[in-house]
């Protein structure tokens, strides 16, 4: 558990340092996600590496920690969400207009994204690939 957390935080820390250092518009944790992906790939392909690593990183504990965090992803947005309640006064002046824009644009965003994904997937997968839904 501690080894898993240490590795996760390390990936985030390095990601944060890279993001700030290079000034790219990607959040540090997203770069950390990429680093974690590379770690998993190296762990499972480089011969001999698993023996050098602490056991929790190879016996599924790391994956278990990830599962717990992702299963409760909603919880992590609560503190920021509570902050919104306190600042709803900022919306008072333009509240109705903003609500309308958020609703329409979010619906449009979902609609276009899903339809384009499906259309292109059908096009690509008809030419050889096997569609897996």
Site for another protein in 1-30 (CB under 8 A): 5, 8-9, 11-12, 15-16, 24-30
Q: Which two tokens stand for residue 69?
A: 């965090």
**Under rule CB under 8 A, which residues in 42-71 are in contact with another protein?**
62-63, 65-67, 69-71
**Under rule CB under 8 A, which residues in 74-93 are in contact with another protein?**
74-88, 90-91
- In this chain, which of 1, 17, 20, 117 binds another protein, going by CB under 8 A? 117
Indicate the residue among 30 and 49 with the shorter CB distance to another protein: 30
The region that residue 23 occupies, defined by phi over 0 for left and psi between -120 and 50 for alpha, beta otherwise, is left
Q: Which helix (H) or strand (E) holds 127?
A: none
- Residue 66: count of CB within 10 angstroms of its CB: 13
């Amino acid at each position: 558990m501690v080894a898993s957390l240490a590795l996760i935080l390390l990936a985030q820390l390095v990601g944060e340092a890279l993001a700030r250092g290079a000034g790219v518009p990607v959040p540090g944790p997203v770069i950390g996600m990429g680093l974690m992906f590379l770690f998993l790939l190296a762990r499972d392909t480089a011969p001999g590496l698993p023996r050098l690593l602490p056991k929790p990183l190879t016996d599924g504990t790391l994956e278990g920690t990830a599962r717990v965090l992702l299963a409760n992803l909603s919880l992590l947005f609560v503190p920021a969400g509570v902050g919104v309640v306190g600042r709803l006064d900022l919306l008072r002046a333009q509240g109705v207009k903003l609500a309308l824009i958020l609703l329409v644009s979010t619906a449009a965003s979902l609609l276009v994204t899903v339809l384009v994904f499906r259309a292109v997937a059908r096009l690509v997968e008809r030419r050889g690939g096997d569609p897996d839904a």
